[in-house]
């Protein structure tokens, strides 16, 4: 019996990278796991297969995080199809890095829509289904607190917004026994941010541990926060960053 046996979790944007690692880790802890994806049904199927191999029920739903109606419909469908909802992990996100002079308002709006508005929309929908002991975790970024390169202002702003949203939602949902927390990864080896190359080397020089982390490192923190041992932890931000902020 895992720590999440009998629970149902939804991980948004989980067809690859950190989201996929979170989904499979929660399945290993005993949860039934649903994921959303935007563009790759084949990869989503790979994740759901891993969830089933871990012993859990699995569900993949196509939902563009930029569309709040689609996000909220996905949350409701998970609760309907799997019978309940106990855990929401807001993982969907994008990073657009561009100079101030070239950054378009369309890119600004898209990044806010996916990184911030979708997290709120999903949490609002999930709140209708979560019971006492429910958990919401959003994947933020250490860039909310430190942006060491040019071109990342808007990305940093969206992740800083998650810090405030987390604190506010913790107050809103605390009386119902629901916790809300924020996990802030540092450099993690994914397709979007590979551990090799000049950019990676420049980040490693900023860290106490001069290496990239793995998606499983983030998944471990999420598994703790959504488990029974974190019942008195809410409104907080946790860094998984190899000392990037130290």
Q: Does residue 246 belong to any structural domain of this protein?
A: no
pLDDT (0 to 100) of residue 192: 85
CATH of the domain at 191: 3.40.50.720
Q: What is the pLDDT of residues 13-56, one digit of tens each?
A: 999 999 999 999 999 999 999 999 998 999 999 999 999 999 99
Active site residue 212: no
Q: Does residue 105 belong to any structural domain of this protein?
A: yes
Domain range for 211: 8-240
Q: Does residue 245 belong to any structural domain of this protein?
A: no
Q: Does residue 86 belong to any structural domain of this protein?
A: yes
Q: What is the pLDDT of residues 171-195, one digit of tens each?
A: 999 999 999 999 999 999 998 899 9
Cβ–Cβ under 8 Å, residues 121 and 71: yes
Residue range 65-70: mean pLDDT, rounded: 98
**Number of domains the chain contains:** 1
Residue 136's DSSP bridge partners are 88, 180
pLDDT score of 168 more than 80: yes
Q: Does residue 156 belong to any structural domain of this protein?
A: yes
Structural tokens at position 205: 């020089």
In this prediction, what percent of the chain has a pLDDT beyond 70?
100
Structural tokens at position 213: 């982390």
Q: Does residue 3 belong to any structural domain of this protein?
A: no
**Quick check: pTM over 0.85?**
yes
pLDDT (0 to 100) of residue 166: 98
Q: Are strands 32-37 and 237-240 parallel, antiparallel or unpaired?
A: unpaired
Q: Does residue 2 belong to any structural domain of this protein?
A: no
Q: Does residue 1 belong to any structural domain of this protein?
A: no
pLDDT (0 to 100) of residue 180: 99
Report d(CA 87, CA 106) in Å as an integer. 32
Residue range 190-219: mean pLDDT, rounded: 94
In this prediction, what percent of the chain has a pLDDT beyond 90?
96
Question: Helix (H, G, I), strand (E, B), or coil: what is residue 198?
Answer: helix
Question: Among the options 37, 155, 212, 224, which is catalytic?
Answer: 155
């Amino acid at each position: 019996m895992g720590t999440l046996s009998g629970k149902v979790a939804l991980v948004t944007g989980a067809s690859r990278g950190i989201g996929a690692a979170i989904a499979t880790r929660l399945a290993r802890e005993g949860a039934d796991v649903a994921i959303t994806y935007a563009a790759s049904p084949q990869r989503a199927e790979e994740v759901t297969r891993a969830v089933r191999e871990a012993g859990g029920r699995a569900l993949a739903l196509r939902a563009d995080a930029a569309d709040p109606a689609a996000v909220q419909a996905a949350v409701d469908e998970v609760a309907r199809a799997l019978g309940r909802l106990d855990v929401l992990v807001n993982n969907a996100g994008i990073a657009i890095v561009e100079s101030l002079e070239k950054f378009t308002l369309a890119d600004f709006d898209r990044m806010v829509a996916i990184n911030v508005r979708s997290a709120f929309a999903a949490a609002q929908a999930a709140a209708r289904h979560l019971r006492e002991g429910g958990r919401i975790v959003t994947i933020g970024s250490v860039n909310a607190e430190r942006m060491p390169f040019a071109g990342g202002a808007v990305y940093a702003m969206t992740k800083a917004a998650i810090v405030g949203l987390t604190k506010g939602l913790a107050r809103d949902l605390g009386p119902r026994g629901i916790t809300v927390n924020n996990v802030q990864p540092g450099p993690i080896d994914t397709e979007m941010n590979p551990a090799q190359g000049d950019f990676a080397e420049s980040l490693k020089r900023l860290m106490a541990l001069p290496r990239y982390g793995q998606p499983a490192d983030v998944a471990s923190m999420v598994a703790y926060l959504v488990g029974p041992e974190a019942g008195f932890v809410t409104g907080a931000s946790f860094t998984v960053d190899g000392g990037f902020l130290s």
